[in-house]
Structure 1
Amino acid sequence: MDFLMEINSIVNDFVWGPPMLILLVGVGVYFTVRTGFFSIRKLGYILNSTLMKMFSKDNDGEGEISAFQAVSTALAATVGTGNIAGVATAIATGGPGAVFWMWIAALFGMTTKFSEVVLSIKYREKTEDGRFNGGPMYYIKNGLGWNWLATIFAIFGALAAFGIGNMVQSNSVAESLNTTFNINPIITGIVLAILAGLVTIGGIKRIGAITEKMVPFMAAFYILGALYIILSNATAIPAAFKLIFENAFTGTAAAGGFTGATVTMAIRYGVARGVFTNEAGLGSAPIAHAAATTDHPVRQGLWGVFEVFVDTICICTLTALTIVMSGLWNTGVSGAELTTSAFDSAVSGGRYIVTIGLTLFAFSTILGWEYYGERCIEYIAGPKSIKIYRIIFIPFVFVGAIGGLEFLWALADTLNGLMAIPNLIGLLGLGGVVIKLTKEFFQTKYIEERKLKRGKHVYED
């Protein structure tokens, strides 16, 4: 077992190391430049088309669930322990400057996620029973014609779901609830497994129906809690931003329990945590987006931009500001413990915000990743394999809660990173399709919308 752990560690260092992170960000830079920086220039339009239409029932085109249910499922899987524990680890290791590089990774990651979603809609398939399947395995197969590479992605995805999307999440919940409320991990594991089983047995329609209610609530709960803490200490905000920007380019000197960090460390850990939390380039989220009802691939792609914006620019930033403002980032404490300490030091009972937020984030991630896993296994073994996958997946929620099979966690983390390789090949190979569809949308659909809007204003005047 030690030998296997050593091999896995070597591979893991590669897939989450500098070369892969440079490639992930590089693909984002490529698509951002090729699309004319539209995800930044038209951010107002994007938010108006997503945030302002979250609960709209107007869904033109074909699909299995609403556009918002699709992004809710994707956000459910994306917003997890990384937003609380991962951000804290980045700051504790790379210093406050890591936050700046996390933002940079997110800005380019928005276009990467957009491109993934566009291709997932373009190349999705409709099954005989009316379901819509898509994601990297389908756009690699249908777009590039490389079924062998699509199968490799599906294998990585089906196995990775057991770790990053299952046991790691349930273990984080169990530890947090045990620390804060003294709840036995066994009880937590049983409850989580039962709840996850009741939801996932209904497939994407039930998952989408649950997540479209759960995601806005859990995001609002954590965001409002963090904002309350930040605004309660508003005088410390300018100093926190100054520390983030200065340390991003100068590194962080050793202080307290902090051993110091170079600019390279700030970049590496900031980018790594940014990619890890929003999953741009890994190929997971487009699997959920593929089921959305939409009239154009780019229309759903806008929700991909929104997804990264909410996950990293909003939620991760609030976690980071709370930690930096608390002054506890250099105490040597890391992970969820650091975030909890930061919240608790600012407001009495702040730990409850972190614990409840972590529980909701982690549980929603389990739901989203179970769906990713079953779509991957269906691609490999057909529709009949879905029920078998669910039966196997759910017990591992309990196993993770009690801290079992740590080697599988580590292996799944590696497989999660390996998913990016075939996905990035697919993205780059089909880059021309993304550019063409983007130009088409903004030369037709976008212009039509603007004309209708202007006409409406004239009528109202």
Structure 2
Amino acid sequence: LVGMATKFAEAVLAVRYRETDSTGHHIGGPMFYIKNGLGKKWLWLGGLFSFFGAVAAFGIGNTVQSNSVADAMDATFGVPHWLTGVIIMVLAGAVILGGIKRIAKVAGKLVPIMGVAYVLAGLLVLIVNAGQIGEAFRLIFYYAFNPIAAAGGFAGAAVMAAIRFGVARGIFSNEAGLGSAPIAHAAAQTRNPVRQGLIAMLGTFIDTIIVCTITALVILTSTVWIDGEAGASLTALSFDAALPGFGNQIVAVALAIFAFTTILGWSFYGEKCCQFLFGTRSIMLYRVLFVLAIPLGAIAQLGFIWLMADTFNAMMAIPNLIALALLSPVVFKLTRDYFAGKDILPGEALDHDK
């Protein structure tokens, strides 16, 4: 619920304070709602967000993704980590550096298909494991408030650890509060900030409440999590326990497509942050470094990769959350105006220099 409210505020402000660049495209995000909403004296905060965003993209949107795919491909098909990293680097590089949009379009069309297939496979597993669902919910609520020694791929001990890892993974999943999603929402064709905010909320609900809950229940209704597995292979083996022969393959293929499109999306977020700091000339250098980091993530240690991603996600979120708190009266006013039937202008229709 907090994530949905946060995402709503981010998207409303992104469209409200966006600008139109020299190519005629809408650009926006936290750095722009800080600059245009809070004024020039807060520009340093926008610069801080842009720096952390440009760096965080290498974690959440790059190395973690390639590492997860490499992990699943190794567990499912026996493909070496380094080979998976090189293949993703070549395909992502063709889009990011070579401008080959066809690969991105194909992947973009596959995402909804694989999303539906993943959810249906998850529901099928839960039907097979129906007798264990009640126990899974009991485990979730009992061990959220009662310390437990670490088991399998799970972080152990204490309410604080449960909250810390739960919040970190939730934010990692839906990006609410990070400030990355508003960069995408600002580019939308819509001219109504509040309508875009409502769409943003729906995305968080589908991602976290539906997809993540199904994944958690699939893992907890199997016994694989007790055996020491972690990361993407934990999910793949949990699916395969109920759907032998093809459960893990569904997860591996879905993960590869989701991760690939996430890498493409985060390269856009990162370069926009870099562009805000250093101008348009810096974009190509950023793209090259971003592509080269992909295979490094695939062969790195899982624990280190997640720690790095969590750290930079937090550093990125802080400036954004400060801006959201300071601009919350604007969000309240625009929302009230929208539901009262008044016209609400997007950023390109405002004079930001006043």
* Interval containing the TM-score (normalised by the shorter chain): 0.7 to 0.9
1:125 equivalent in alignment to 2:19: yes
Query: How far does residue 177 in structure 1 lie from its aligned partner after superposition?
Result: 1.3
1:193 equivalent in alignment to 2:89: yes
2:166 equivalent among 254, 270, 277: 270
> Cα–Cα, structure 1 residues 312 and 125, in superposed 2: closer, same or farther, change >3 Å?
same
1:444 equivalent in alignment to 2:338: no
2:351 is aligned to none
- Paired with 1:423 and 1:399, the residues of 2 have a C-alpha distance of 29
1:418 equivalent among 305, 312, 315: 315
Q: Could you tell me whether the CA contact under 8 Å between 1:114 and 1:301 is conserved in 2?
A: yes
Q: Could you tell me whether the CA contact under 8 Å between 2:108 and 2:261 is conserved in 1?
A: no
Per-residue deviation, residues 217-276 of structure 1 (Å, max 9, x unmatched):
22112111111111122233233334333444x426569768964344333332232122
RMSD over aligned Cα atoms: 2.9
- Paired with 1:333 and 1:153, the residues of 2 have a C-alpha distance of 35
The one-letter amino acid paired with 1:442 is: F
The one-letter amino acid paired with 1:338 is: L
> Cα–Cα, structure 1 residues 186 and 408, in superposed 2: closer, same or farther, change >3 Å?
closer
1:359 is aligned to 256
1:325 equivalent in alignment to 2:325: no
1:383 equivalent in alignment to 2:277: no
- Paired with 2:138 and 2:159, the residues of 1 have a C-alpha distance of 16
Q: Could you tell me whether the CA contact under 8 Å between 1:167 and 1:409 is conserved in 2?
A: no
- Paired with 2:160 and 2:80, the residues of 1 have a C-alpha distance of 41
Query: How far does residue 206 in structure 1 lie from its aligned partner after superposition?
Result: 7.3
- Paired with 2:209 and 2:32, the residues of 1 have a C-alpha distance of 30
Query: How far does residue 132 in structure 1 lie from its aligned partner after superposition?
Result: 1.2
2:271 is aligned to 374
Q: Could you tell me whether the CA contact under 8 Å between 2:175 and 2:181 is conserved in 1?
A: yes
Query: How far does residue 392 in structure 1 lie from its aligned partner after superposition?
Result: 2.3
1:304 is aligned to 200
1:229 is aligned to 125
> Cα–Cα, structure 1 residues 116 and 205, in superposed 2: closer, same or farther, change >3 Å?
farther
- Paired with 2:212 and 2:313, the residues of 1 have a C-alpha distance of 20
What SS does the corresponding residue of 2:190 show, helix, strand or coil? coil
> Cα–Cα, structure 1 residues 208 and 339, in superposed 2: closer, same or farther, change >3 Å?
closer
1:154 equivalent in alignment to 2:38: no
1:50 is aligned to none
Q: Could you tell me whether the CA contact under 8 Å between 1:163 and 1:410 is conserved in 2?
A: no
- Paired with 1:405 and 1:335, the residues of 2 have a C-alpha distance of 8
Query: How far does residue 431 in structure 1 lie from its aligned partner after superposition?
Result: 0.4
Query: How far does residue 409 in structure 1 lie from its aligned partner after superposition?
Result: 7.5
1:105-124 aligned at under 5 Å gives the runs 107-124=1-18
- Paired with 2:151 and 2:76, the residues of 1 have a C-alpha distance of 26
> Cα–Cα, structure 1 residues 181 and 290, in superposed 2: closer, same or farther, change >3 Å?
same
Any unmatched runs of 5+ in structure 1? 1-106, 447-461
2:29 equivalent among 135, 150, 153: 135
> Cα–Cα, structure 1 residues 160 and 272, in superposed 2: closer, same or farther, change >3 Å?
closer
Q: Could you tell me whether the CA contact under 8 Å between 2:151 and 2:225 is conserved in 1?
A: no
What SS does the corresponding residue of 2:221 show, helix, strand or coil? helix
Query: How far does residue 339 in structure 1 lie from its aligned partner after superposition?
Result: 1.9
Any unmatched runs of 5+ in structure 2? 344-354
Further displaced range: 198-207 or 212-221:
198-207
Aligned residues: 339
The one-letter amino acid paired with 1:158 is: A
- Paired with 1:400 and 1:313, the residues of 2 have a C-alpha distance of 28
- Paired with 1:301 and 1:230, the residues of 2 have a C-alpha distance of 32
Per-residue deviation, residues 128-167 of structure 1 (Å, max 9, x unmatched):
2111111011101111121111011101111111222112
Q: Could you tell me whether the CA contact under 8 Å between 2:15 and 2:191 is conserved in 1?
A: no
